[in-house]
A and B are shown apart, each in its own frame.
Chain A
Amino acid sequence: MSEKTTTNTSFLNDAGNRAMLFQAVLLIAVVAVGYYLFHNLQANLENQGISTGFAFLNEPAGFPILIHLIEYTEANSYGRAFLVALINTILISLMGIILATVIGVVMGLARLSQNWLVARLATVYIETLRNIPLLLQMFFWYFAVLATLPHPRDSIIFGDFFLNKRGIYSPEPIAQDGFGVVIFGFLACVMAAIALVVWAKKRQKQTGVWFPAYWTSLAIIIVGTVVFYFLAGSPVEFDAPTKSRFNVTGGMVLVPEFVAVLVALSTYTGAFIAEIVRAGILSVNWGQTEASRSLGLPDGLTQRLIVLPQALRVIIPPLTSQYLNLAKNSSLGAAIAYPELVAVVMGTTLNQTGQAIETIGLCMLVYGSLSLSISVFMNWYNKKMSLIER
């Protein structure tokens, strides 16, 4: 600017100066409060004789963990226990996300159904589960449903499956020699299917001839894997659970803690996802469906090629936040002793070692990065799905 703007305002009345001043005060206040808290923390830790740092992670934990996908005994360290708990959290979150999505899509579509009764039933489901606290639902599944199942000696039996207070017992598949061949075969089929899809797309772009690539590739993967399975000589054996007089042994068991958390998380989040799916589908203009029909597309293709891609654009952002909520809500499993992060680290480890800052910090860090990775993935997917405007 060639000419300096004349200021007849006082220093404090200038908006820029005031902003600077305000920010300086804010910064000083934040730093001062931070320093004060940190100072108190140090003094308190010294008074109480708590040593800081993560050295405790190497000490033996000395407590058992009900569910561990990796090797774990009481003699293992706190670090190992942390890892086990982290895997449990990720396990329940991933399974919950998959199940909740299925429930949500089914219920969302059901609420839009032409069938009056189906739509009403879906509405009742959604409005009931959405408005009851998740913790209450978890308690209900755990204490009122699963805990009232019969004792092991009176297990409910469906073939090789047993249902009792201790959980759901099912045959456990055990890989024998030659299972590698099946895995290899499966991967080969997947590659072949991908190649087929790529070829079909390319041909359609060049010649316009359409090929049912998705169904064919699905058939290739399933049939191919089955063929490889028998070629390798059925290398999977099932270890069926057996019922003795008072107990059920062997096989695979889903413990009630896991089932309760999974059912509660997925039905609860599913109700929210159902509303998102419904809103997404309703957001696609009816004219799009009519236009698609007038082009001669059958109903299935109309849904898959016209409605769904447009609905997904509306669905994905809120869906992401539901996935994030589910991952964070898995921490409620601590209340019914599902050994996830909060229960193991902020519960048992904190009680035994007194390392409040470290354990809570660790948990916050893990949840922070879990949230971040889910949102990075969903943002990538959203970008892929979003409208490319020219």
Chain B
Amino acid sequence: MAIEFKPSPSLPPPSNAVGPVAWVRKNFFSSPLNIFLTFFSFYILYLLIPPALEWAVFDATWEGTSKAACTAGGACWAFIRVRFDQFMYGLYPATEYWRVNVAAILLVVLVGMFAIKAINKLLLSIAIIVVYPIIAYFLFAGGVLGLEVVETSLWGGLFLTMLLGIIGIVASFPLGIILALGRQSKMPVAKSVCVIFIETIRAVPLITILFMASVMIPLFLPDGMNFNKLLRVLIGITLFSAAYMAEVIRGGLQAIPKGQYEAADAMGLTYWQSMILVILPQALKLVIPGIVNTFIGLFKDTTLVYIVGMFDFLGIIQMANHDANWLGTTTEGYAFAGFVYWAICFGMSRYSMAVERKLDTGHKRN
């Protein structure tokens, strides 16, 4: 009778090497330093979380019409509720809020239509980039079809911030591409114009550019010719971020192997054909994180328009903080503003990661 070899089943790993106990040991108590850090972190959390929760939730006041209503000792969210419309639309006349809303909804719908496969993407892009701004402008400014005229100095709040951010992003992107291509160009004049422009802008802070836009541009224009301050500031912001965008895109252009340029030439493509069909699609894909970082930077930088006297989202909150009815609600205002900016910027960065993953075709050099 043959003896059959029967291995005994393997023992489970010791209970302190797997499972939650091991995880806690490895992550929290692996060394004396680690133990100290764990307790230190818990102490910091203990110092921060309970008072913050108490202030923001448990002791907070949600209803009321002035600071006097906030007696619970916590946050005075009533301030945000009462002022909410102003934070969103600035000094825009309350009866005309619907115009901003319509434009915003229209934009969301148009952009959302990209998700529908049957729609011609080119036509849709043209609609968004060419037709939509005209409609939106007349909606905001009025003066046609019986719409009341609203001066741009009344535009404000989150509406102005989004306006500056979106137009800045949409306008600085193509400008940045042109500057980057110019900097890579073999034509000495074109190259030096681009290099001087980019390096000058990048060397100075945005505030100086905004001051230039608000104070200096009128001096450079002929007598009697002047244009809107909002437009001047927009030009300033756009030129500023275009210079940064150009440097990011240049990085992408340099990362494309020379063979791609040569192959495009060998196919008999013209310069613009080879750029648009071969080089840029690859280059831009490589630098998506950089591009989105520039967008986020631009969006955060729109707060600086407050310094040249425009009331964007932060500016209008800063103004509301000085309201005699609501003295002492600065923290609430900043917390609200901080949350909104954070949500938008964090959302953009997460979205860019998703796009990067979606477009990743494995050409990245690792």
Residues of A within 8 A of B (CB): 19, 22-23, 26-27, 30, 37, 40-41, 43-45, 47, 113-118, 121, 127-128, 130-136, 139-140, 143-144, 147-148, 328-329, 331-332, 334-335, 342, 346, 350, 356-357, 360, 363-364, 367-368, 371-372
Contacts of A118 in B (CB 8 A): 37-38, 41
Contacts of B26 in A (CB 8 A): 114
* Sample (5) of A-B pairs whose CB atoms are under 8 Å apart: A128-B342, A131-B342, A139-B330, A331-B208, A367-B208
Q: Are A43 and B223 in contact (CB under 8 A)?
A: yes
Selected contact of A115 from candidates B27, B44, B215, B331, CB within 8 Å = B27
Smallest CB–CB gap between B103 and chain A, Å? 24
Contacts of B318 in A (CB 8 A): 139
B71, CB-defined interface residue at 8 Å: no
**Stretch of B4-12, B272-280, B299-307 at the chain-chain interface:** B299-307
Smallest CB–CB gap between B231 and chain A, Å? 17
B288, CB-defined interface residue at 8 Å: no
B182-236 CB contacts (< 8 Å) to partner A: 186-190, 193, 200, 202-208, 211-212, 215-216, 218-223
Q: What 6 pairs across the A-B complex have the smallest Cβ distances?
A: A131-B345, A328-B205, A116-B27, A23-B189, A133-B300, A331-B205
Selected contact of A136 from candidates B187, B193, B223, B338, CB within 8 Å = B338
B283, CB-defined interface residue at 8 Å: no
Closest to A110 in B: B37
Knowing A118-B41, A133-B341, A368-B200 are in contact, say whether A332-B27 is a contact too (CB < 8 A): no
Knowing A22-B187, A113-B37, A346-B211 are in contact, say whether A135-B303 is a contact too (CB < 8 A): yes
B314, CB-defined interface residue at 8 Å: yes
Selected contact of A135 from candidates B202, B204, B306, B342, CB within 8 Å = B306
- Cα–Cα distance between A19 and B331 once the two chains are bound (Å): 58
B296, CB-defined interface residue at 8 Å: yes
Q: Are A117 and B42 in contact (CB under 8 A)?
A: yes
B114, CB-defined interface residue at 8 Å: no
Extra A-B contacts (14), CB below 8 Å, given A139-B334, A346-B211 = A27-B189, A44-B218, A117-B38, A117-B41, A128-B342, A131-B296, A131-B346, A132-B300, A132-B345, A136-B314, A332-B205, A357-B219, A367-B205, A371-B203
Q: Are A121 and B215 in contact (CB under 8 A)?
A: no
Contacts of B153 in A (CB 8 A): none
Smallest CB–CB gap between A226 and chain B, Å? 29
- Cα–Cα distance between A132 and B341 once the two chains are bound (Å): 6
Among A135, A328, A335, A367, the one with the most B-chain Cβ atoms within 10 Å of its Cβ is A135
- Cα–Cα distance between A135 and B305 once the two chains are bound (Å): 11
Q: Are B303 and A30 in contact (CB under 8 A)?
A: no
- Cα–Cα distance between A20 and B151 once the two chains are bound (Å): 46
Selected contact of B44 from candidates A37, A47, A121, CB within 8 Å = A121
Contacts of B206 in A (CB 8 A): 328
Smallest CB–CB gap between A21 and chain B, Å? 11
Q: Are B208 and A360 in contact (CB under 8 A)?
A: yes
Q: Are A22 and B190 in contact (CB under 8 A)?
A: yes
B337, CB-defined interface residue at 8 Å: yes
- Cα–Cα distance between A372 and B203 once the two chains are bound (Å): 8
Closest to A328 in B: B205
- Cα–Cα distance between A121 and B28 once the two chains are bound (Å): 14
Closest to A47 in B: B223
Smallest CB–CB gap between A142 and chain B, Å? 10
Contacts of A130 in B (CB 8 A): 345
A-B contact count (CB 8 A): 154
- Cα–Cα distance between A335 and B330 once the two chains are bound (Å): 16
Closest to A113 in B: B37
Smallest CB–CB gap between A271 and chain B, Å? 12
Proximity bits, B15-45, A CB within 8 Å = 1, else 0: 0000000000011101000100110011011
Knowing A30-B193, A133-B301 are in contact, say whether A368-B203 is a contact too (CB < 8 A): yes
Knowing A131-B296, A133-B300 are in contact, say whether A115-B34 is a contact too (CB < 8 A): yes
Contacts of A356 in B (CB 8 A): 215-216, 219
Q: Are A360 and B37 in contact (CB under 8 A)?
A: no
- Cα–Cα distance between A45 and B41 once the two chains are bound (Å): 62
Smallest CB–CB gap between A145 and chain B, Å? 8
Sort chain B's interface into a size bin.
Answer: 35 or more
Closest to A141 in B: B334
Q: Are A41 and B220 in contact (CB under 8 A)?
A: yes
- Cα–Cα distance between A26 and B188 once the two chains are bound (Å): 11
Selected contact of A40 from candidates B38, B203, B208, B221, CB within 8 Å = B221
Selected contact of A114 from candidates B34, B45, B219, B342, CB within 8 Å = B34
Q: Are A136 and B337 in contact (CB under 8 A)?
A: yes
- Cα–Cα distance between A146 and B205 once the two chains are bound (Å): 26
Q: Are B219 and A115 in contact (CB under 8 A)?
A: no
Closest to A370 in B: B203
Among A40, A41, A45, the one with the most B-chain Cβ atoms within 10 Å of its Cβ is A40
B321, CB-defined interface residue at 8 Å: yes
B349, CB-defined interface residue at 8 Å: yes
Q: Are A335 and B307 in contact (CB under 8 A)?
A: yes
Closest to A135 in B: B303
Smallest CB–CB gap between B222 and chain A, Å? 5
Selected contact of B215 from candidates A117, A328, A334, A350, CB within 8 Å = A350
Q: Are B219 and A44 in contact (CB under 8 A)?
A: yes
- Cα–Cα distance between A47 and B219 once the two chains are bound (Å): 11
Q: Are A136 and B189 in contact (CB under 8 A)?
A: no
Q: Are B208 and A364 in contact (CB under 8 A)?
A: yes
- Cα–Cα distance between A114 and B25 once the two chains are bound (Å): 11
Among A132, A357, A367, A368, the one with the most B-chain Cβ atoms within 10 Å of its Cβ is A132
- Cα–Cα distance between A287 and B220 once the two chains are bound (Å): 60
Q: Are B200 and A334 in contact (CB under 8 A)?
A: no
Knowing A43-B222, A116-B27 are in contact, say whether A143-B303 is a contact too (CB < 8 A): no
Knowing A133-B301, A357-B216 are in contact, say whether A329-B205 is a contact too (CB < 8 A): yes
Smallest CB–CB gap between A126 and chain B, Å? 11
Among A133, A350, A368, the one with the most B-chain Cβ atoms within 10 Å of its Cβ is A133
Q: Are B211 and A114 in contact (CB under 8 A)?
A: no
B281-320 CB contacts (< 8 Å) to partner A: 296, 300-301, 303-304, 306-307, 314, 318
Q: Are A45 and B219 in contact (CB under 8 A)?
A: yes
Proximity bits, B79-107, A CB within 8 Å = 1, else 0: 00000000000000000000000000000
- Cα–Cα distance between A268 and B352 once the two chains are bound (Å): 22
Contacts of B338 in A (CB 8 A): 132, 136, 140
- Cα–Cα distance between A44 and B226 once the two chains are bound (Å): 12
Q: Are B220 and A139 in contact (CB under 8 A)?
A: no
Contacts of B307 in A (CB 8 A): 135, 332, 334-335
